[in-house]
Structure 1
Amino acid sequence: MDSDKYLEGQSMQRSPLFESNGFIYWKNRFETYVKSKGLDLWHVIIEGDFVPIQNNSKTKQSEAVPFEKQNDDLKKRLAKNNEAKMVIYNALPKKEYEGTFMCNTEKEIWKTLLITHQGNSQVKDKKIDILVQQYEQFVISKDESIDSAFARFNTIITSLKALDEGYSSKNYVRKFLRALHLKLRAKVTTIEELKDLTSLSPDELIGNLKDSSDEESSTSGSEDEEYAMAVKDFKKFFKRRGRFVRQSQNDKKIFQRSRDDKNSKSDRKCFRCGDLNHLIGECSKPPRDKNQRAFVGGS
């Protein structure tokens, strides 16, 4: 990286070192750093130098003030111009410095860096269109972790912000919730019911989703363990009682056959005398007529 070319032992208070391969990342960090040093510095970089002009109390008009007539407040204000330029130069390697050396103001330096590494307005608009499309089509797969999904999502929204384009925090939260897989729909419903999405930040959303996942995993693991123990005890019980169960089933079948035989015997009787203890072929009582004898013999 370009930052590797810098001398070691640099103060932690210096500007974030320029990275040509990660311009958007550097740009965001640089802006935050400059604003932490003073909002006047960032104003100079974006809007241009402060100029030695004051209102004339007599003419009521603005006019240039020569150096010898500048008061201390105006001099301090004008000093912000060089301070802002030094902040930028401290962040640039030699190659980038040479590319901006002909710029007269901090605003010109900043604009040159943006065009060189971010493109002109047309290129910028094209990049924005691509990122917006990625944002609108963002989805989370079934097996993707919350951390991995948010890392992809954060790259998109950070890139949009670096191009001065973006959505509200509320929009980010709702978009991420809609992108979650259907298996997490119960969690989404819970969050929507318990949280105020208008004030919920993306980081807080991720924390809630991860907490919910941890609780679900813990509960699921406990339930699985209880189920496994129940199945184990169930098998042990039937292993000990298997013989008794089989014997009971066999006894039931024997009892049923005995009952069926008894019922079938109770339904049979002699057609000649009506006795239940024998059939007509074993009856000793003589038939009433020849036709009945013939019928019995035929039978």
Structure 2
Amino acid sequence: MSTIKLYILKKGEYDIWAMKMEHYLGHTDYPIWEVIQKGNGPVQVSTDKNGQIRVLPLKTAEEILARERERKSRTTLLMSIPEDHLAKFHKITNAKEMWEAIKSRFGGNDESKKMQKYILKQQFEIFYVSNSEGLHKGYERFQSLLSQLEIHGACVSTKDANQKFLRSLPASWSQVSLIMRIKPGVDTLCFDDLYNNLRVFESDVKGSTTSSSSTLNMAFVSSESTSSTNDVSTAYGVSTSSSHNSQREGSLSYTDELMYSFFANQSSGPQLDHKDLE
């Protein structure tokens, strides 16, 4: 448990922070989470002769334990919020009230949530993975964006997410992206599995500057069997023997022939827009 880091609240990430805090406290010290959610019972107080309210000393072991949990709960919450906001919350003596105050301050109202939802949708529309960013960082950023959209009630379908990510890959991925987008089952493949499939081609994409045909050939190799290249070649009217000869010679004839056959067969298949053709 000591290796788990306390998640610090960041601007615009209250919902994620609240979920992580629930799991963090539920794992490290569940009674503390119960105190935050349900409260710790009223504090025993009395009024002295001057009319001042004072807290009565603890008498039982249960009261001492409850007070200790309250203190730990408050400390945990204070440690998880930005330092420039400590002054607003440190005087709150009840952990449950502090949790609600943090939600009120950072959770946002209906109007701000609506605006955040709109901004996230715009970020989804303009999402793009640069060459310098690479596949892995692009995947992490896109996954984070999908999570934020889901939290704000703007879930993206598996089909839209996969197609958007494939469209957003750099130009060096254009051949793999084009083939993957029309590959059977890609619209029902979970995003993590799509990423894992793309990783198989990453080394070929990086070496595409010296061999532009290798990426396209590899894009047709299914995760189940390397023999699927022959099936795809036959399906698009490309002879298997011709493809093997071209690969050995390192020429572009296989790529040219395959792409020609692919476009020739588009009349009965998915229509491609100008960006696809480029």
TM-score by length of 2: 0.49
CA radius of gyration, larger in: 1
Higher helix share: 1
TM-score by length of 1: 0.46
